[in-house]
Amino acid sequence: MGKLKKKLWIFVLLIAIFMGGFYFFVKGNPPLDVGTLASSNDHKSVVVGIGNKGFGEVKILGVSVNNDEKPSKTKVQVSNALQGFIVTDDYDNKESIPYGFQNIGDIGMKAGTSTKNDEIYGLSVSHHEAINRVNIKYSYLGITFDEMVFFKAEVNR
């Protein structure tokens, strides 16, 4: 009975080491790929092009702006590389409809979308004041990540 108990402990230890290694590997290689950054002239509406370079689905959990403020509006554009993205704060007008605006909770970003040309994702954020930072909280393989994207305000000369 002693040998069986020893083998069980070794097995449990190996599983724990594997799981810990996997966790640190995933944490060290976040899947969210930030590409296109665009903003309106007043910086109150921005678009962050995002892709998934991982091998599992990415789910956006929340978005905040500047000093962790809740944005006025947040949607995800599901577009294509030929069409690109639109910077707008009106997601329902006739010019915006072709860009496939959806609620962030309804989108699961498929794996490999940072390299695909047929489907691209753009996080559209609007706020009542100029946006200088967008914080994206997302989940991947059950692990939560935070990504900060900075926008530089242009200096008027």
- Summarize pLDDT for 96-120 with one digit per residue, the tens: 888 889 999 898 888 877 766 678 8
pLDDT band of 89, cuts 50, 70, 90? confident
Residue 130 to residue 127: CA distance in whole angstroms? 7
pLDDT at 153 over 70: no
Query: 66: buried, middle or exposed (CB in 10 Å: 19+, 13-18, 0-12)?
Result: middle
pLDDT at 62 over 90: yes
Mean pLDDT across the stretch 39-44? 93
Mean pLDDT across the stretch 60-85? 92
pLDDT of 117 reads: 61
Q: Are 87 and 40 in contact (CB under 8 A)?
A: yes
Query: 6: buried, middle or exposed (CB in 10 Å: 19+, 13-18, 0-12)?
Result: exposed
pLDDT of 156 reads: 47
Q: Are 29 and 97 in contact (CB under 8 A)?
A: no
